[in-house]
Chains A and B, each alone.
Chain A
Amino acid sequence: MNPMQSKIETAKAKGKVALIPFLPAGFPSRDQFWKELEQLDAAGAAVIEIGMPFSDPVADGPVVEKASLKCLEDGIDLAWIFEGLKARKGTFNAALLLMGYLNPVYQYGLDAFGADCAAAGVSGLIIADLPHEESGFVKQAMAPHGVALVPLIGLNTSLDRMRLYAKDAQGFCYFVSVLGTTGQRESLPERIREKLTEARSIFTIPIALGFGIKHPDQLANFAGLMDAAVFGSALITHIATGHTSTQFMEPWQ
Chain B
Amino acid sequence: MKKGYFGDFGGQFIPELLMPPLLELEQAMQTILPTEEFQTRFIAMLKENVGRPSAITHCPNLSRDLGLDLWLKREDLNHSGAHKINNTLGQGLLAKMMGKTTLLAETGAGMHGVATAVAAAMLDMKCLVYMGATDVVRQAPNVNRMRLMGAEIVAVESGTKTLKDAINEALRRWLSDQETTHYCFGTAAGPHPFPTLVREFQQVISREARQQFMERNDGRLPDVVVACVGGGSNAIGMFHHFVPDPSVAIVGVEAAGTGEPGCDNSAPLNLGTDGILHGMKTKLLQTPQGQILPSHSIAPGLDYPGVGPEHAHLHATGRATYVTINDAQAINAFKTLSRREGIIPALESSHAVAYAIEHRAELKGKSVLVCLSGRGDKDMAIVDSIL
Contact = CB atoms under 8 A, between A and B. Distances in A.
A65 interface: yes
Contacts of A156: 17, 20, 178
Contact of B172 (A55, A105, A161, A181): A181
Given A58-B168, A78-B289, A179-B176, A131 B275 contact: no
Contact of B16 (A58, A105, A132): A132
Contacts of A165: 16
Contact of A157 (B16, B172, B278, B291): B16
Interface stretch (B6-14, B296-304, B326-334): B6-14
Interface residues of B, number: 32
B275 A107 contact: yes
Interface string A52-72: 001111110110010001001
A105 B290 CA distance: 8
B292 interface: yes
B259 interface: no
A128 interface: yes
B289 A180 contact: no
B14 A56 contact: no
Interface in A125-157: 128-134, 151-154, 156-157
Interface in A55-112: 55-59, 61-62, 65, 69, 72, 77-78, 101-108
A154 B16 contact: yes
Interface in B266-295: 275-279, 284, 286, 288-292
A106 B290 CA distance: 8
A122 interface: no
Contact of B14 (A54, A105, A131, A180): A131
Contact of A56 (B12, B17, B19, B292): B292
Contacts of A59: 15, 17, 172, 175
Contacts of A178: 176
B277 A103 contact: yes
Given A129-B276, A181-B172, A55 B15 contact: no
Contacts of A131: 12-16, 19
B338 interface: no
A251 to B, nearest CB: 28
Interface of B is mostly: mixed
Best-buried of A58, A102, A156 by chain B (most CB within 10 Å) = A58
A179 B292 contact: no
Best-buried of A56, A102, A180 by chain B (most CB within 10 Å) = A56
Contacts, number: 106
A2 interface: no
Best-buried of A62, A129, A157, A161 by chain B (most CB within 10 Å) = A129
B20 A56 contact: no
Nearest to A155: B17
B168 A103 contact: no
A158 interface: yes
B290 A56 contact: no
B14 A77 contact: no
Contacts of B19: 131-133, 161
Interface residues of A, number: 42
B14 A55 contact: no
B12 A134 contact: yes
Contact of B290 (A58, A108, A132): A108
Contact of A104 (B17, B175, B279, B291): B291
A225 interface: no
B351 interface: no
B224 to A, nearest CB: 35
A207 B144 CA distance: 49
Interface string B13-36: 111110110000000000000000
A176 B17 contact: yes
Contact of A102 (B13, B16, B171): B13
Given A131-B16, A133-B12, A154-B17, A56 B159 contact: yes
B276 A103 contact: yes
A78 B175 CA distance: 28
A56 B289 contact: no
Interface of B: 3, 11-17, 19-20, 158-159, 164-165, 168, 171-172, 175-176, 178, 275-279, 284, 286, 288-292
6 contacts: A55-B291, A61-B172, A102-B13, A103-B277, A151-B16, A156-B178
Given A128-B15, A157-B17, A179-B17, 13 more contacts: A54-B291, A55-B292, A56-B168, A57-B168, A58-B278, A106-B276, A106-B290, A129-B13, A132-B16, A132-B19, A151-B16, A161-B19, A165-B16
